[in-house]
Amino acid sequence: MVTACGGPRPVIVEEAPTEVVRRPLSKTRFVAYGDSVTEGLLLGCPGRPAPVPSIAPDPPATPGVRSSTPSGVSFPARLAALLHERYAGQPIELIGEGVGSDSLSAFKDELGRVLVGDGPDVLLLAGGGDALRAGASGDDVVAALQSMIRDAKRRGVVVFVATLLPIDVDGCRPDAPPVSREPVIRTNAALRTMVGTAEATLVDLFEAFNGRTGVLLGSDGARPTASGFALIARLFFEAITRQLEGE
């Protein structure tokens, strides 16, 4: 631009882009423990195949991630990729321990083996929905999760706890009896209260999925789609960065 009287041209100074400084994580060894949501199961209805195989035989290779039931779409695999991208200079390890069991006692008891065998700094706890759909009471689910939180914290482990996913009542649920939304809603209300007093961090999957179950839950009405698993990974990732980055 030239001034009206032929004066000097104005000097425009461009500011250099601000460098984004990412603070390291204070904890780097993670275990994701849960039921079929953690396994990465994608189930279809009778006569309608699942959109991809339930367990992918060759999941993408991500450094520092291993799983007892490897799934290419599981939220632990996706979360590990997010963490490695953001914290490329840190030796982060994430272990997926999915236990797809309707037995609440087996789900609770297996955590002891995981804590001893894997030795995590951080526990990502996402389970209880399978047992609730199989007939366990909401009170029993919350009590089991509370006991698991206590077991982990006694070992000095930082704990993140997910709420149960909503139920799509129109889903076929080939592996479980029909379940209404109300038990999940009541259980989550009690779970939020319990986590608030247990010195754990809540990751509210229910609120993120509620109203979007047609996209985020599969045709069985209970387990996530690939998009749903990606959202779960993102929600845990955001909670981890808020809680542990630069702590």
Give 38-89 pLDDT, tens digit per residue: 988 766 665 555 444 333 333 444 444 444 445 667 899 999 999 999 999 8
Q: List the beta bridge partners of residue 158.
A: 122
What average pLDDT does the structure give for the chain? 82
Q: What is the percentage of the chain residues whose pLDDT exceeds 70?
A: 73
Residue pLDDT, tens place only, 128-144: 998 998 889 999 999 99
Q: What Rg, from alpha-carbon coordinates, does the chain have? A: 22
Angstrom distance (rounded) from CA 7 to CA 206: 64
Please report the pLDDT score of residue 98 as a whole number: 87
pTM for the model stands at 0.82
Could you give the strand order of the β-sheet that contains 93-98, starting from the edge strand earlier in sequence? Answer: 65-67, 93-98, 29-34, 122-126, 158-162, 201-203
Residue 153 pLDDT greater than 90, yes or no: yes
Cα dist. 234→65, 80, 239 in Å? 16, 10, 9
Please report the pLDDT score of residue 46 as a whole number: 58
Please report the pLDDT score of residue 111 as a whole number: 95
Q: Are 62 and 150 in contact (CB under 8 A)?
A: no
- The predicted model gives 195-216 an average pLDDT of 93
Structure tokens at 108: 């609770």
The residue assigned the tokens 């009778």 is 46
50 or 186, which is more confident: 186
Q: What is the percentage of the chain residues whose pLDDT exceeds 90?
A: 56
Please report the pLDDT score of residue 101 as a whole number: 74
